[in-house]
């Protein structure tokens, strides 16, 4: 059961990270302003932890 809990948490964290990657790529290509990304990244990091 313990292993299943860890796998579930890892899965949720990976999903969150995978959602953040396109946002970061968009920021790097200049499609988002930096302030918008900064707010998104803080929320994403809180969700991962």
Per-run averaged pLDDT (10 residues), the chain, 49 residues: 84 88 82 53 52
Q: Outline where 1-49 has alpha helix (H).
A: 2-28, 34-48
pLDDT value, residue 10 = 87
* 9: number of Cβ within 10 Å: 11
pLDDT value, residue 2 = 82
pLDDT value, residue 49 = 47
User: Which pTM was predicted?
Assistant: 0.40
Q: Exposure string (b/e) for 25-49, b if CB count within 10 Å is 16 or more? A: eebeeeebeeeebeebeeebeeeee
């Amino acid at each position: 059961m313990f292993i299943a809990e860890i796998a579930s948490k890892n899965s949720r964290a990976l999903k969150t990270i995978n959602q953040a990657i396109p946002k970061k790529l968009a920021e790097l290509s200049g499609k988002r302003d930096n302030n918008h990304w900064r707010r998104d990244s803080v929320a994403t990091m809180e969700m991962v932890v």
